[in-house]
Amino acid sequence: MNSDSIKSEKVGFVGVGLMGHGMAKNIVEMGYKLTTIAHRNRTPVDDLVSRGASEAGTLAELAATSTMIFICLTDSDAIESVVTEMKPALTAGTIIVDCSTANPSSTERIAAELAPLGVGYADAPLGGTPKEAEAGALHAMIGCSEDVFARVEPVLSACTAKIVHLGKLGDGHRMKLLNNFLSLGYGALYAEALALSRKVGISVETFDSVVRGSRMDCGFYQTFMGYALEGNRAAHKFTLSNAYKDMKYVESMANDVQFVTAMSSAVKNSYAFGITNGGSGDDDYVPHLTDFIARANGL
C-alpha cells in the first residue's frame, strides 16, 4: 500500500479529551483528512480545526464522511451509545477503531452487530499518558482480523510509537485490562504504603530516598510520587473514577471465565473507597488515593 492510498483514509475521531486530542492532532498533522465533533469542551476541537481538521455537527454526519472512525471514550456505555447513534450512517467498508479501555464482552457484541453491515471493528486501547499522546509516543495493543489490521496500522502509526497486534477481536481490551490491573495495583500499594509510612513516623521524603533508584522504582512510581513529594496534582492524570471503572471491568472479565479475583477485587475496593469518600471528581487522580487512606487512619 503506497502513501497516497494510506492517506486516502478519511478519519473520524470521537472523544478528543486528555488522550484523544493528542492522537487526533498527530493524525491530522500526518496529512490525513480528519473530522471530529465537540462534546463538553470546545478547546481541543477548536485546536484541531486550527490545524486543518473539520468539525461535524452530529455523529451521523461524522460517520457518513469517514472511512475509519477512532473512538476514545470513558467506558463501554458511552461507546455503545456513540456507535448506536452512528450506525444508520455507517457504510460498508468503514472501520471503527476503539481506543478506549472497555469491557471485552461489550466490544464483541458491538462488532457482531456491525458485521452484517460490512463495518469492521478493532479494539486498540493505549498504553501511556496524555503527555505521550501529545508526543505521538503511545503504545497500542490491538485485537482484530488481519485485513482490518492492515488498514488500521498505518493510521495508528501516526500517533503511536509501538503497535502490538495481539490477535482476535477483544484481545486488545483484555490485555489493556491486565495492564491496568498491574498499574492500578501499583497505585493502590503505593497509596497504602505511603500512608502507613507516615503513620509509623517515616516521612514521604525518607520513603522515596529508599525506593527511588531501587528495584522497586519504575516510571509509574515516579509520576505517582510527583504528587506525594511535590504536591503536583496533575503529575499523574488518571482519575480515581476511571481506575475504579477499569478494575470493575477486570473483575467482570474474570467472572466470565469463573476466575477467583482475590487481588484484583482488593485493588478495585481500594479505589471504591476513595470514590465513596469524595474522590469522584474530574481532577481526583490515582495518586490522591493516598490522602483518602491517610485520613481514614487519622492522618
Residues carrying an active site annotation: 176
In 104-203, which ranges are continuous DSSP H helix? 104-114, 130-135, 146-156, 171-199
DSSP string of 128-152, one letter each residue:
S-HHHHHHT-EEEEEES-HHHHHHH
Note the maximum CA span of the chain.
64
> How many Å is the Cα radius of gyration of the chain?
20
Answer positive or negative: Cα dihedral of 246, 252, 256, 257.
Answer: positive
Q: How far apart (Å, rounded) are the C-alpha atoms in residues 45 and 17? A: 9
In the chain, which ranges are continuous DSSP H helix? 3-7, 20-29, 43-50, 59-64, 76-86, 104-114, 130-135, 146-156, 171-199, 204-211, 219-230, 240-256, 262-276, 289-296
| Cβ neighbours around 299 below 10 Å, total | 12
Which residues are within 8 A (CB) of 80 and not within 5 positions of it... i.e. 6 or more apart? 106, 110
Q: How far apart (Å, rounded) are the C-alpha atoms in residues 223 and 228? A: 9
| DSSP label of 292 | H
Q: 105, 130 in Cβ contact below 8 A?
A: no
Among candidates 245, 242, 224, which has minimal Cα distance to 281? 242
